[in-house]
Amino acid sequence: MAQVARRRTNNNHPKVVVDRLPRIFVRSLGTGIFPRDGPIVFISSAPPTVASSAVDDGDEDSLLVTPTGDLDSDGIRPLTMQLRDWSTKKKQCCFMRTSDLAMDGGPSNNNDKAHYHYSTNDPPPGVTHDPKERWVALDDGHGFHTAIAPAAIDALARCVLDFTMDRSMWTPNYATQKLMKGTKWDELSWNKDDPIPNLPSEKDVLVWTGSFSHGCYGSELPGVRACGMVPMSPFDLMSLLLDSSRINEYNKMSLGRTDMVVLQEGMDGPFKGITKIVKNESKVMRKTMQLVTLLHSRPLPCTKDAFMIVSRAVTRPSDPVDLFKTEILTGVNILLPVGTSNDCCFMINVNHMKSPIPLMIAKKVGLTAAVNFFHDLRNL
């Protein structure tokens, strides 16, 4: 263990020194007074939590401690302390667009900590400024979430649930129109508040295309909505889709997915559900497609044993720029129980993608992929 000592200097100020300490980050344990005569007075801080650590980590009193210089005659190496630089940390953070989420923004000036505490139109490093766009940082570059991240994820979950169930946005394709005539499909396809009764068919996949009217990034691109039955319970399917090590079980084009940052592991906490940032690579049209994406899952409040998974692209300034860039503008999986069965669920998906593939080809690929996703899950 490193030896820590406190000694007086010629001007009677304490000097903190340490032996063989690696480059580390520390935070205040409390405040105190070092009098010339008498005992040292120390008032400890409250025990840190994940949430409080994330909030405090961007404040001015966050210190970077680095051992510098040679060992002195006592065999102790002095420490250099300096404030952590948020403008430098931004290059390691993950940023998410929020202009379509109806979040209150902060000042419009370029504040180094703006992304940490509120939604701002100041883009991440390397991204072209767009006055219509707003951004938040989801993490601080060192494994903690930012102060604004839980509110941003909550706004994203509410937004995607609203547009997924907005009939006015979606137009069914011809096959879906035929399936809905004279069956319960039309009613079931827009349900999110009650368990699904027995389905008209366990093999059907219903598909819609839709447009987004918010006028923000990617709104000119169509989205795809699909629904159908999957022979797994909502919880089991949620667990499968969140487990990066199992992605090849249902996505044969994936070259692998890794968890980059885990912001919350369970359902209890500031995010109200499992929240992480993942990187997935796939082979599409002989090119490597990389997606860095937020994944968030939470229970649906109105239906017992129902869950939703939300996804959205994040931007990392440290990532290479020469990749075949594709973004998940918004994705959602709504998983509803079916009757009293514990071995199947009704899934409603929305995928809204931005890709360098020509629009007509991308739309065709998106519709095919939406249907194949159900088939792949059913074949497990």
> Per-residue DSSP letters for 217-279?
TTTTS-EEEEEEEESS-HHHHHHHHH-GGGGGGT-TTEEEEEEEEEEESSSSSTTSS-EEEEE
pLDDT band at 64 (very low <50, low <70, confident <90, very high): very low
User: Does the structure show a pLDDT above 90 at 201?
Assistant: no
pLDDT band at 295 (very low <50, low <70, confident <90, very high): very high
State the burial class of residue 209 (Cβ atoms within 10 Å of its Cβ: 0-12, 13-18, 19+). middle
Kindly report, residue by residue over 114-164, the tens digit of the pLDDT.
788 888 888 888 888 888 899 999 998 888 899 899 999 999 999 999 999
359 vs 110, which has greater pLDDT?
A: 359
Q: What pLDDT shows up at residue 51?
A: 37
State the burial class of residue 206 (Cβ atoms within 10 Å of its Cβ: 0-12, 13-18, 19+). buried
Q: What pLDDT shows up at residue 127?
A: 87
pLDDT band at 32 (very low <50, low <70, confident <90, very high): low
Give CA–CA dist 304/308, Å, rounded.
12
Look at the block and give the residue holding tokens 């827009």.
Answer: 190
Q: What pLDDT shows up at residue 140?
A: 85
Beta bridge partners of 293: 278, 313
Start-to-end Cα distance in the chain: 51
Q: What pLDDT shows up at residue 20?
A: 39
* Mean residue pLDDT across the chain: 76
Q: What pLDDT shows up at residue 46?
A: 45
308 vs 342, which has greater pLDDT?
A: 308
* Amino acid in the structure at residue 336: L
Give CA–CA dist 132/139, Å, rounded.
23
Give CA–CA dist 29/42, Å, rounded.
10
Of the given ranges (49-53, 85-89, 200-204), which has the lowest mean pLDDT?
Answer: 49-53
Share of the chain above pLDDT 70, in %: 68
Q: What is the rounded average pLDDT of the residues 86-112?
A: 73
Kindly report, residue by residue over 252-272, the tens digit of the pLDDT.
888 899 999 999 998 999 999
Look at the block and give the residue holding tokens 């494994």.
Answer: 143
| Contact of 327 with 352, CB cutoff 8 Å | no
The values of phi and psi at residue 44, to 5°, are -75, 150
State the burial class of residue 252 (Cβ atoms within 10 Å of its Cβ: 0-12, 13-18, 19+). exposed
Q: What pLDDT shows up at residue 274?
A: 96
Share of the chain above pLDDT 90, in %: 34
Candidate ranges 24-38, 108-122, 196-210; pick with highest mean pLDDT: 196-210
Give CA–CA dist 289/268, Å, rounded.
33
- Pairing mode, if any, of strands 287-299 and 324-325? parallel
The values of phi and psi at residue 338, to 5°, are -115, 115
340 vs 137, which has greater pLDDT?
A: 137
The secondary structure element, H or E, covering residue 177 is: helix 174-180
Q: What pLDDT shows up at residue 323?
A: 54
Q: What is the pTM of this model?
A: 0.75
Number of other CB atoms surrounding residue 33 within 10 Å: 10
Of the given ranges (252-256, 298-302, 321-325), which has the lowest mean pLDDT?
Answer: 321-325
DSSP 146: -
How far is residue 376 from each of residues 124, 206, 230, 290, measured CA to CA in Å?
A: 37, 15, 10, 21
pLDDT band at 6 (very low <50, low <70, confident <90, very high): very low
